[in-house]
Amino acid sequence: MQEIAAKHLERRNELTPGLKLHKEGKYEIDHKDQSVGVALLMESCGTADANFLNPLLTQLANATGKEMQEVNLNFALSVIADIKPKDQLEACLLLNWRAFI
């Protein structure tokens, strides 16, 4: 049982941080160290370019529905991160997939 718990904790530490939504439609990375959070999100989205990441996250937030809901946004981000796009093009394709669901 302890082995299972240890594996879960190890995997949890590798997970992409979520996003917290604010009333103004703005978001922040849910990570205690913002620079680490940004790096983890960039890796999850197949990019090393912050100029790509910010618009991608904004478009993803807009694609989650008329009323942006934090749970839907983080679900979509989790799916994209799990697929592990290898570059920005794949991340864009996944964003388009999310827009139709």
Token pair 């979520």 in the structure block, residue? 18
**pTM of the predicted structure, to 2 decimals:** 0.74
Closest alpha carbon to 57 in 92, 85, 86, 97: 92
pLDDT of residue 87: 95
Return the pLDDT at 79: 86
Stretches where the chain sits below pLDDT 50 are none
pLDDT for residue 2: 78
**Residue 76 contacts residue 60 (beta carbons within 8 Å):** yes
User: Which amino acid is it at 56?
Assistant: L
